[in-house]
Homo-oligomer: A and B are copies of this chain.
Amino acid sequence: MITEAAKDSIRAVIYIALYREDREFISIKEIAQTLNLSFYFLSKNLLKLVKAGILESFRGPKGGVNFKKDPKEVKLIDIISAIDGTHVFESCILGFKECSETNPCAIHNKWAEERKRLYDMFDISVKKLADEIKSGDIKNIKI
């Protein structure tokens, strides 16, 4: 559905939103350790978010990453888009180049609805998610 790279990145971004508080930058090492992720793999993936303009980074002691865009404006779908692309949400599930309402594959109608729902599921801002978590709307939450 989404790659490991996208999963890790989503978790990292939620972590940043939750724990940045008034810090300038959060080190990738801290994120990787806390979330039990590979520092190497996470570094590469977060770099993609930096290049996509979602995060900014800073080198040296006190360095790390943080949001460049306001987390209100960053949606999970933006993370997935920067890491995996959006092909999954836009294309035929049986792999046909030209699959549409007028020229459908055998399950076009069903999948067309579901892929929209999936897109909508990820069309939620990191800020909103972080707020839900902070407010305790979700108990025993884990990132």
Contact = CB atoms under 8 A, between A and B. Distances in A.
B114 A121 contact: yes
Interface residues of A, number: 39
A79 to B, nearest CB: 12
A12 to B, nearest CB: 11
A1 B141 CA distance: 26
B117 A114 contact: yes
Interface centre among A4, A108, A138 (most CB of B within 10 A): A138
A7 interface: yes
A121 B110 contact: yes
A94 B11 contact: yes
23 contacts: A1-B1, A1-B93, A2-B93, A7-B93, A7-B94, A7-B95, A76-B107, A102-B140, A103-B142, A104-B140, A105-B141, A105-B143, A106-B132, A107-B121, A107-B124, A107-B129, A108-B138, A109-B138, A110-B121, A114-B114, A114-B117, A114-B118, A117-B117
